[in-house]
Amino acid sequence: MGKNIVLKPRIKVKSPWLLSIGDCSWIGEAVWIENIDEVAIGSHVCLSQGVRLIDGNHDFNDPSFRTFSRKIQIDSGCWVGAHTIIFGGVQVPKAQFLKGGSVIRSSKDIEYNGN
């Protein structure tokens, strides 16, 4: 964990030992980090209220319904708008803004800011 992190009320983290947060980042109220794999949040990142980071799922084609997961990485300087959902395997590049209510299933879903 970095320095000067702001953690608002009602944050849920499934596996805190798999979470890293850089300096001066803000984790908003009711953020839910459903991580069974690594989640890396850079410095000067804002996760607005109600953001969901979900890095795992079940393989519905598998008879035993096994789980799988992929890392989520949010690079420094990003702002993730309220109630956005980011799924496993996504890397949000440096200094990006994700509009509130976005659903990011892959890095291709990100509208780049040109930074």
pTM metric for this prediction:
0.90
Residue 97 covered by a domain: yes
Convert the pLDDT of each residue in 55-92 to its tens digit: 977 767 888 878 777 899 999 999 999 999 999 999 99
> pLDDT averaged over the chain?
92
Residue 59 lies in a domain: yes
Residue 115 forms part of a structural domain:
no
Q: Which of 3-12, 29-38, 100-109 has the lowest mean pLDDT?
A: 100-109
| pLDDT interval class at 19 (50, 70, 90) | very high
What is the number of structural domains in the chain?
A: 1
> How far, CA to CA in Å, does 60 sit from each of 14, 45, 63, 65, 91?
22, 34, 7, 6, 24
- Among the listed ranges 45-49, 91-95, 96-100, 108-112, which one has the minimum average pLDDT value? 108-112
Residue 81 domain flag: yes
Query: What's the rounded mean pLDDT across residues 31-59?
Result: 93
> What CATH number has the domain bearing residue 65?
2.160.10.10
Give a yes or no: residue 75 inside a domain: yes
Determine, yes or no, domain membership for 1: no
Domain coverage including residue 54: 6-106
Q: Of all residues in the chain, what percent carry a pLDDT higher than 70?
A: 95
Q: Which of 33, 25, 21, 32 is nearest to 79 (CA)?
A: 25
The answer as to whether 99 is a domain residue is yes
Question: Is 111 contained in some domain?
Answer: no
Calculate the alpha carbon distances from 95 to 13, 75, 79, 87 in Å.
24, 7, 7, 19
